Amino acid sequence: IVVPPNKSRRYKIASIPADGIGPEVVSAAIDVVSKLAKTLKTFTIEFTHIPWGTAYYKKTGAYADENVLDVLRSYDAALFGSVGAPDVPDHISLWGLLLAIRGPLQLYANVRPVRTFPGTQSPLRTVGAKGIDWLLVRENSEGEYAGHGGRSHRGQTWETATEVAIFTYTGIERIMRFAFTAAQTRPRKFLTVVTKSNSMRNGMVLWDEVALKVSKDFPDVNWDKMLVDAMTVRMVNQPDSLDTIVGTNLHMDILSDLAAALAGSIGVAPSSNLDPTRKNPSLFEPVHGSAFDITGKGVANPVATFWSAAEMLAWLGEEEAKEKLMGCVERVCEAGVLTRDLGGTASTKDVTKAVCDEIEL
């Protein structure tokens, strides 16, 4: 989605590195974007550090301030790292920060492109695919992550828990329109709608019905639908048959991790949490989590956060800056400056320096 840059071209960004490798990759992305701004001289960008996350929770009892939404609304966008820690239950950390932002800010479109970078390999070469170039669109505000449900009879053998998936016509229609529009901008103009409407006979059937209805407004987009279980097989066995993919919050959370691994590594997969109405600032983050197994070792792949920052620049209207940054990242990968998840030996700092040097050329 191409928008003209705002008139001032001075951007204020909330930087929320949070947990695990988040601070390492966000700091690398700030270095790279700052270098880009200094080199291009067409815009200015200021990052403000916001210390929310697990350390904040341990100190204050909350993952973020109560006025989290007002704080974020005072910025043009947010660059997020990762949330989650080994000694805090995952549902506390996720709901304390990320899910406390996405739903209330109505960042309903989670856009997750996946691509095999030059100089890297997809495991799918074994089925004859050169690499992957897909655009995954995840419904980000309702579905299985709506937060409805509860537990009763705690501690009894008849203890019961419900997790209610909420699907609304409005919620489905807006993400479907977003996905068809996104498919329209890609050369293949092809969309696959993922559901599970054989066993889930209410919400998923509504998804199918809305897809059919919305498709009538996009006669130039070819589309098909898949059940999510069969979709995993198609992603592995017929990767070239796919292009843009849309699905529910849970389904696309899972499929986007699979897609990232099939492209080469989850270390290169970005995501944009967008409010397409632009009433609220959007949030950009790598798909990967906090990765405590490699935290502090200096080996985290910063490319997913570079790409997320590039998408942020494009969302702000700085398309030229995005293109330049992504070109530099591609050339650095092609030159073999790769972290170990991609089969290389480079550190986070090596990759960051190589991209900064490339920007200056």
Instruction: Enumerate binding residues for ligand GGG (CB under 6 A).
Output: 82-84, 94, 98, 253, 285-286, 288-289
Work out how close the CB of 82 gets to ligand GGG at its nearest, in angstroms, rounded to a whole number: 4
Nearer to ligand GGG, 195 or 308 (CB): 308
CA distance 361 to 351: 16
Distance, in Å, from the CA atom of 106 to the CA atom of 297, rounded to the nearest integer, reads: 35
Using the minimum distance from each CB to ligand GGG, give the nearer residue, 139 or 285. 285
Which residue number has the CB closest to ligand GGG? 82
Q: Residue 209 Cβ, how far from ligand GGG at the closest point, in Å? A: 26
Rounded distance, CA 201 to CA 203, Å? 7
Q: Where are the alpha helices (DSSP H) in the chain?
A: 22-40, 54-60, 68-73, 90-96, 98-102, 169-184, 203-215, 228-237, 249-263, 303-315, 319-334, 348-360
Alpha-helical regions (H) of 134-288: 169-184, 203-215, 228-237, 249-263
- The alpha-carbon radius of gyration of the chain (Å, integer) is 20
For the bound state, the minimum distance from the C-beta of residue 126 to ligand GGG, rounded and expressed in Å, comes to 29
Nearer to ligand GGG, 19 or 318 (CB): 19
CA atoms within 13 A on the CB side of 244: 24
- Shortest gap between Cβ of 83 and ligand GGG (angstroms)? 4
CA angle 223, 176, 99 (to 5 degrees): 130
Pick the closer one to ligand GGG by CB: 131 or 289: 289
Strands 109-115 and 270-274: antiparallel
Residue 313 contacts residue 325 (beta carbons within 8 Å):
yes
Q: Which of 136, 354 has the CB closer to ligand GGG?
A: 136
Q: Which is nearer to ligand GGG, 285 or 311 (CB)?
A: 285
For residue 50, the SS3 value is coil
CA 277/CA 274 separation, integer angstroms: 9
Q: Would you say 305 or 354 has its CB closer to ligand GGG?
A: 305
Q: Which is nearer to ligand GGG, 84 or 171 (CB)?
A: 84
Q: How far is the CB of 68 from ligand GGG (least distance, A)?
A: 16
Minimum distance from residue 113 beta carbon to ligand GGG (Å): 15
Shortest distance (Å) from residue 285 CB to ligand GGG: 4
Q: Whose Cβ is closer to ligand GGG: residue 253's or residue 318's?
A: 253
Contact call for residues 228 and 166 (beta carbons, < 8 A): no
| Residue 155: Cβ within 10 Å count | 5
301 vs 29: CA distance, rounded Å: 11
